[in-house]
């Protein structure tokens, strides 16, 4: 696991004024994205967030300011393959290369940089207000986990009141393979899906637009180095394969989902859209916000292959998360959205390292740029629920928004924004930006 180093120093500042005190992108963060300038021919390239700007890595590469391992890392991150694959090639290089480039960029952006260096780097900046984004990597494979015991119990009480928690939940990180082709970047709006559903007490299903549209508050993990087919990743090595984390909304058509899930699990209820934020925060940037992974003594402890001293010591991350709902009324009257939930990833029942290990135990070969969803992130209190089906107890207790409107489930025109950040005494706050999507009417 990444140890603390000078890039986490809370006293470090940048010569770029907007970075100092920025709620998401101070110099201690430096997340990656794929971007282009809006209003121009879309020439995609890798970028790093610093304050309210994007550092264009292709432009920086042309300046030839770096040497050694850092220069080689920049060659890969800014290489021509990014136009097709995004950051996949860079993600595949491994932790030593990721660290070399992070530390070099930190030095170039630091207040200690020379005046000539500052001038060269400043010429490589693009205002984020002028940028558009695509997925940070080519996502060939997407797997969504189910690792919040609070979410599992809340939803289980709705679907299976007598047995809300499945027998295997406390023993194994559960997951299903999702649809990679419908993973989209934040800001991509989508249509309400059509499908079959079975109303309570009905004798036959009906076909029509989803009536129970939901969000799911999740994090997404991008895989860095892959593994060969048939060669599992041991828990002790899992962190070496973890590049970084983004915000993920696993949009869910609950009525379609609940009808189709028996016996094979999610299909049309999940495959119509999954939104992720453009910025990927590296595991190194998140090092100060690790916490011990613990289980109550009276609950099942992980089997040996999912257990280690390192994972118990600092396997969990305290990533703060919030969900906002903005209605058409909010937009028309230029009113603020309603924050309907706030929680932390530290409540999750399994760690990302355990998810990586479980994914490969049967010999599955992960690839650079693969995306793993954490599963809905819910805390122990009602206000910490990560989905509207939990907040409204299956739609029976609608929530009231700041406009006076109520919601049992999401309506057309509603936009959901996820936000995430880390803060801790003695360290600088870093954030993930936002992940936003708006629901458009169904197309029958």
Q: Which residues are catalytic?
A: 151
- Per residue, the 3-state secondary structure of the chain, as one string, reads CCCCCHHHCCCCCECCHHHCCCCCCCCCCCCEEEEEECCCCCCCEEEEEECCEEEEHHHHHHHCCCCHHHHHHHHHHCCCCHHHHECHHHHCCCHHHHHHHHHHHHHHHECCCCHHHHHHHHCCEEEHHHEEEECCECCCCEEEEECCHHHHHHHHHHHCCCCCCCCCCCCCCEEEECCHHHEEECCCCEECCEEEECCCCCCCCEEEECCCEECCEEEEEEECCCCCCCCCCCHHHHHHHEEEEEEEECCEEHHHHHHHCCCCCCCCCCCCCEEECCCEEECCCCHHHEECCCCCCCCCCCCHHHCCHHHHHHCEECCEEEEEEECHHHHHCCCCCEEEEEEEHHHCCCCHHHHHHHHHCCCCCCCCCCEEECCCCCCCCHHHCCCHHHHCCCCCCCEECCCCCEECCECCCCEEEEEEEECCCCCCCEEEEEEEEEEECCCC
Contact 218, 375 (CB under 8 A): yes
Q: Do 281 and 29 meet the contact criterion of CB atoms below 8 Å apart?
A: yes
Residue 202: CB atoms within 10 Å: 9
Place of tokens 């797997």: 143
Q: Residue 302 and residue 434: Cα distance in Å, rounded?
A: 33
CB atoms within 10 A of CB 408: 18
User: Token pair for residue 222?
Assistant: 């991008």
- Give the separation between CA 350 and CA 27, rounded to whole angstroms: 30
Q: Which of 432, 35, 378, 96 is nearest to 245 (CA)?
A: 432
> Is the Cβ–Cβ distance between 36 and 70 less than 8 Å?
no
How far is residue 398's CA from residue 283's CA, in Å, rounded to a whole number? 38
């Amino acid at each position: 696991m990444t140890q603390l180093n000078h890039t986490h120093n809370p006293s470090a500042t940048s010569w770029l004024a907007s970075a100092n005190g920025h709620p998401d992108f101070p110099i201690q963060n430096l997340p990656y994205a794929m971007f282009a300038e809006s209003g121009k021919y879309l020439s995609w390239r890798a970028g790093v967030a610093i304050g309210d700007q994007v550092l264009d890595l292709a432009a920086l590469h042309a300046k030839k300011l770096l040497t050694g391992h850092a220069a080689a890392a920049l060659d890969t991150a800014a290489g021509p393959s990014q136009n097709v694959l995004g950051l996949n090639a860079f993600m595949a290089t491994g932790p030593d290369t990721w660290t070399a480039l992070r530390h070099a960029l930190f030095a170039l952006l630091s207040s200690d940089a020379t005046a000539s260096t500052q001038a060269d780097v400043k010429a490589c900046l693009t205002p984020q207000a002028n940028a558009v984004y695509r997925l940070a990597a080519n996502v060939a494979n997407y797997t969504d986990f189910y690792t919040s015991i609070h979410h599992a119990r809340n939803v289980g009480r709705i679907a299976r009141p007598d047995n809300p928690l499945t027998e295997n939940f406390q023993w194994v990180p559960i997951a299903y393979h999702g649809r990679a082709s419908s993973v989209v970047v934040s800001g991509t709006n989508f249509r309400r899906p059509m499908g079959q559903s079975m109303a309570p007490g009905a004798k036959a299903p009906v076909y029509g637009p989803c009536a129970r549209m939901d969000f799911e508050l999740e994090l997404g993990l991008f895989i860095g180095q892959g593994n060969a087919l048939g060669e599992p990743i041991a828990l002790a090595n899992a962190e070496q394969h973890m590049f970084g984390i983004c915000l993920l909304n696993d949009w869910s058509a609950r009525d379609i989902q609940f009808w189709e899930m028996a016996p094979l699990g999610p299909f049309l209820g999940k495959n119509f859209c999954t939104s992720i934020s453009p910025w990927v925060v590296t595991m190194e940037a998140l090092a100060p916000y690790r916490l011990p992974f613990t289980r109550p003594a009276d609950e099942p402890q992980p089997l040996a292959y999912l257990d280690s001293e390192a994972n118990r010591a600092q396997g969990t991350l305290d990533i703060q998360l919030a969900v906002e709902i903005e209605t058409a009324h909010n937009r028309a009257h230029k009113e603020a959205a309603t924050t309907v939930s706030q929680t932390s990833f530290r409540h999750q029942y399994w760690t990302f390292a355990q998810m990586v290990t479980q994914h490969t135990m049967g010999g599955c070969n992960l690839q650079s740029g693969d995306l793993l969803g954490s599963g809905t992130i819910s805390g122990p209190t009602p206000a910490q629920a990560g989905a509207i089906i939990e907040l409204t107890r299956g739609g029976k207790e609608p929530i009231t928004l700041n406009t006076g409107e109520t919601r049992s489930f999401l309506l057309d025109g509603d936009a959901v924004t996820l936000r995430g950040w880390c803060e801790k005494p003695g360290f600088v706050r870093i954030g993930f930006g936002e992940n936003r999507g708006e629901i458009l009417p169904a197309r029958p």
